[in-house]
Structure formats: C-alpha cells, structure tokens
Amino acid sequence: MITLDEFKKVEMRIGTVMEAEKIAGSDKLLRLQVDFGSEKRQIVSGIAEFYSPEDMIGKQCPFVFNLEPKKFRGVESQGMIMAVDVEGYCVLMHPNKEVAAGSLIT
C-alpha cells in the first residue's frame, strides 16, 4: 500500500501518440513518440502483443509523466502508459473526448 501523500507525487498527463514502432528483437515492446503539448517524449511500452503500431497512432492515453528514465532493450523510456489488465488482455485507458495534449490528470 502507498499513502495518499505518496500517490500525490505521481504526475499523470494525457499524451497523444504521434509515432509508434516495434522494438527490434522484442515481441512485446513498442516505442511510442508521444506529444505532451509543451514537449515530446519517447515511451516504451509492453503492449505490442495487443496493439499494432498502426493501432496506436493518434490515440490519446494517460501516461505517468514523472518517472526516472529507464532503458528497455537499449531504448530509453521517459514515462509509462496507463492500461488495465482484463483477464490477460491489455485495455488502454483514454479520455471519452479529445483533450489537449499534456493535460494534467487530477
């Protein structure tokens, strides 16, 4: 369990996926180029077995924005996409209407 004060430190923002591609040598990883309004970030996500790169282009999703960068298969990730595991299937969360890229989730 984490405390409410710890959870308040998590910064989530809406990002719009501009580019997506599979990472060579991996069946699970996609490299996403995500627009957050004031900046663009590269985010690696293990969703390739559920979503093709083409499925991701233009999608708006919530991302954890303030994580330390981490490398996956030599590719730096600057955040994390938010998704739900439904009986072993990855379901992406997204706003029910378009919002400005970079919008803070409160």
Nearest to 62 by CA among 90, 95, 89, 31: 95
Q: What's the mean pLDDT when you consider all of the chain?
A: 95
- Mean pLDDT, to the nearest integer, of 80-96? 94
Domains in the chain (CATH in brackets) are: 4-100 (2.40.50.140)
Could you tell me the pLDDT band of residue 31, with boundaries at 50, 70 and 90?
A: very high
- Mean pLDDT, to the nearest integer, of 24-40? 96
Global pTM?
0.92
pLDDT score at 45: 97
Tens digit of each residue's pLDDT (9 = 90 or more) over 53-74: 999 999 999 999 999 999 999 9
